[in-house]
Amino acid sequence: MLYLGTQFLLKTVNGGTSWEAVSGDLTRVRPDEKDEKQVRGTILTIAPSEVKEGEIWIGTDDGNIQLTKDAGTSWQNATPVGVPEWSTVSIIEASHFDAGTAYAAVNRNGLDDLRPHILQTRDFGKTWQEKIAGIRDGDFVRTVREDPVRKGLLYAGTERGVYVSFDSGEHWQSLRLNMPVVAIHDLAVEQNDLVAATYGRSFWILDDVTPLRQAEARMAASGAHLFAPRTAVRVRRDENQDTPLPPEVPAGKNPPDGAILNYVLPANSSGDIQLEIYDQDEKLVRSFSSAAAPAQPEEAPFVAEYWIAPPQALSKAPGMHRFVWNLRYADPRAMHPQSQYNYPIAAIVGSTPLAPQGPLVLPGRYEVRLKAGGQVSRQPLEVKMDPRVPAARNELQSSLELQLKISALLGKNFDGYQQAKELRARLADLTKRPKEDPIAVAASTLDAKAAALAGEPTPILETPKTTSFMALNDALTALMALVDGADFAPSEESFAAYRRICKGENEALAGWQELKNKDVATLNKLLEKGNLAAWPEFSNLTAETGCGN
């Protein structure tokens, strides 16, 4: 069923093949105009009730508000007293909760009246009350909308921005945020987002209004508060493999990928805070902190750093905050060399993740915990599967398990590489001693072995010359990208590749252990003979036991 407004209300039930008038002329009738062709009023807004079938409100550009309770069989003029002729009733919003309740945005700037006008009725238009407290004088209203979830939550679009009311319009406050000063011609609540249509400044979307639906005045005086997050959809980030847009090209921004977590901290907030996500088995999936993360040594990025998404950190400042969890486990500890696997062409300035990323979580129920000021706030979080993807859960489970194994192996390999790198840094000064010095000879020999174990990045399509930590890193990173590439069970070759790399990792770790036990021990004896301090021992790295699985 589709409605169309002229001076009459028209209805079609067959896609516009035929139309039926369900009203007479609903615009103002002027006795001095005997020729009907001179009547210029038209219906601008049509608002069928969300709760009562047959209840329809209309508003015209010449100041009329009309109502039918029986789908057009009969109509009553519900125009408020004080709305003069040629006022523009630009939007009427029928309540989502109560029959007989409606809101009207009346625009009179064409009559040199720039004051805001929002009218509310609770008795089918018999009486109306103006609700404009908090809206700036001279900021006339073009649209008003009611939130379909929280009763009393209203949004208004004016000539200069957006306003919000939590008490059915009794009090309004600005919701402009980072929007330009621009006329808002209409608003729409689409699921959990607020969409604004502006005059000449594009569409703007306020992603996730669930905090507005939960906000209460007492939150300002209470401790830290974690808002219940909306359902998150397991959607993969941009996979566009075309050349990325240059930074200087204007472009819109997609909503954030993942779960949007909103929290508020009190004015006396102090100390670091944490956000933790647990699965149904009470296992920690991901943890974030406001504390500065320890710097991880890594190779210099191959691309300009402004492409890469900066590390996520929580804000611990008093006030409202939003944090986005990308629905992934923690990123593996890995080297980021000049590798073809690490920098996707599906790049977005400031938002491009650096591979390898942790695996995506499975659809299901999780719990978010905010730890702040000695308090722990908990909220459930549901993660749903991308409705376009028909993958079976056991396939996703198989992929997750393999990715977690790859991630763990990457971390172990990373530790081996860092130890080899640290050893070479220790050896740097010793290799500068006179060539005939036994310490210099031993140091140079040891440095060559450590360099071979550490390895270098392998160019694309080339086979690594040795089983080095860097070669293993590249192979594991490539395998991670392959398994994470789509929502399906890993192939048999993927499992076979993991087993091969895992065995290669154990060989590298065994070689490194032998180097520490023999060569480093021999060098330490030479250092002691030369009255030099022996080096502290490196931590032990155990072999991976799951290579055969």
Looking at the fold, whether 69 and 179 belong to one and the same domain comes out as yes
Task: Give the CATH number for residue 272.
Answer: 2.60.40.1930
State whether 331 and 351 are in the same domain: yes
Distances (CA, A) of 138 to 113, 145, 180, 184: 8, 20, 17, 14
Q: What is the pLDDT of residues 457-485, one digit of tens each?
A: 766 656 666 789 999 998 999 899 999 98
Determine how many CB atoms are found less than 10 A away from the CB of residue 116: 27
Residues 213, 115: Cα–Cα separation, whole Å: 28
Structure tokens at 481: 């990208």
Name the pTM for this structure: 0.87
> Is residue 549 domain-resident?
no
119 & 55 share domain: yes
Residues 292, 50: Cα–Cα separation, whole Å:
50
Residue 543: exposed, middle, or buried by beta-carbon count in 10 A (0-12, 13-18, 19+)? middle
Taking Cα atoms as reference points, which of 130, 154, 159 lies closest to residue 144?
Answer: 154
Kindly state whether residue 385 falls inside one of the protein's structural domains: yes
For 479-501, letters b (16+ CB in 10 Å) and e give bbbbbbeebebbeeebbebbeeb
Written as six digits, the tokens of 337 are 């060399």
Q: Which of 191, 209, 227 is the last residue of a domain?
A: 209
In this structure, the answer to whether residues 262 and 384 fall within a common structural domain is: yes
pLDDT of residue 133: 97
For residues 238 and 125, state if they share a domain.
no
Kindly tell me the sign of the dihedral angle through the C-alpha atoms of 332, 478, 360, 505. Answer: negative
Map residue 514 onto helix, strand or coil.
helix
In the chain, how many domains are there?
Answer: 3
Let me know whether 487 and 404 are in one domain.
Answer: yes
In a domain, 537, yes or no: no
CATH of residue 23? 2.130.10.10
What's phi and psi for 276, nearest 5 deg? -130, 145
Is 457 domain-assigned? yes
Q: What percent of the residues of the chain are helix, what percent strand, and what percent coil, each to the nearest 5?
A: 25, 25, 55
Decide which of 361, 389, 417 is a domain's last residue.
389
Q: Note whether 148 and 6 are same-domain residues.
A: yes
Domain carrying residue 280? 216-389
> In whole angstroms, what is the distance from residue 219 CA to residue 225 CA?
7
Q: In angstroms, what CA-CA distances link 462 with 413, 475, 481?
A: 20, 11, 18
Looking at the fold, whether 343 and 447 belong to one and the same domain comes out as no
Beta strand spans in 147-235 (E): 154-158, 162-165, 173-174, 184-190, 193-198, 203-206, 225-226, 232-234
Q: Residues 334, 473: contact at Cβ < 8 Å?
A: yes
Residue 298 in any domain: the answer is yes
Tokens 């129920």 found at: 365
Q: Which long-range contacts (CB under 8 A, 24 or more apart) does 441-448 make?
A: 442/519, 442/522, 442/523, 442/526, 443/523, 445/519, 446/515, 446/519, 446/520, 446/523
Instruction: Tell me: do 182 and 268 sit in the same domain.
Output: no
How many alpha carbons lie under 13 Å from residue 423 in its C-beta half-sphere?
Answer: 31
Pairing of strands 319-325, 284-289: unpaired
Q: pLDDT by residue (tens digit) across 7-66? A: 999 999 999 999 999 999 999 866 565 555 556 789 999 999 999 999 999 999 999 999
- Same-domain status, 200 and 250: no
Cβ neighbors of 122 (< 8 A, separation 6 or more) are 98, 100, 101
Residues 6 and 152 in one domain: yes
What pLDDT does residue 405 have? 96
Mutual orientation of helices 469-483 and 438-454 as an angle, nearest 10°? 10
pLDDT at 33: 57
Q: Does residue 12 sit within a domain?
A: yes
| Residue that finishes a domain, picked among 389, 416, 449 | 389
- Kindly tell me the burial class for residue 279, based on how many C-beta atoms sit within 10 Å of its own C-beta (0-12, 13-18, 19 or more): middle
Q: How many whole angstroms separate alpha carbon 148 and alpha carbon 131?
A: 19
Return the amino acid letter for 132: I
In a domain, residue 302? The reply is yes
pLDDT of residue 32: 60
Is residue 458 in some structural domain?
yes
Q: pLDDT at position 340, please?
A: 47
Domain match, 51 and 192 both: yes
Distance between CA atoms of 204 and 194, rounded to whole angstroms?
A: 8
The answer to whether the beta carbons of residues 156 and 118 sit under 8 Å apart is: yes
pLDDT at res. 271: 87
Q: What is the pLDDT along the chain (549 residues), one digit of tens a residue?
A: 999 999 999 999 999 999 999 999 999 866 565 555 556 789 999 999 999 999 999 999 999 999 999 999 999 999 998 898 889 999 999 999 999 999 999 999 989 999 999 999 999 999 999 999 999 999 999 999 999 999 999 999 999 999 999 999 999 999 999 999 999 999 999 989 999 999 999 999 999 999 999 998 777 667 899 999 999 999 988 777 778 888 898 888 888 889 999 999 998 888 899 999 999 999 999 999 998 776 655 555 567 888 888 888 899 999 999 999 999 999 999 987 555 455 677 888 888 888 889 999 999 999 999 999 889 999 999 999 999 999 899 999 999 999 999 999 999 999 999 999 999 998 988 888 888 888 888 889 999 999 999 988 766 656 666 789 999 998 999 899 999 988 999 999 999 999 999 999 999 999 999 998 898 888 888 888 888 887 878 888 888 887 876
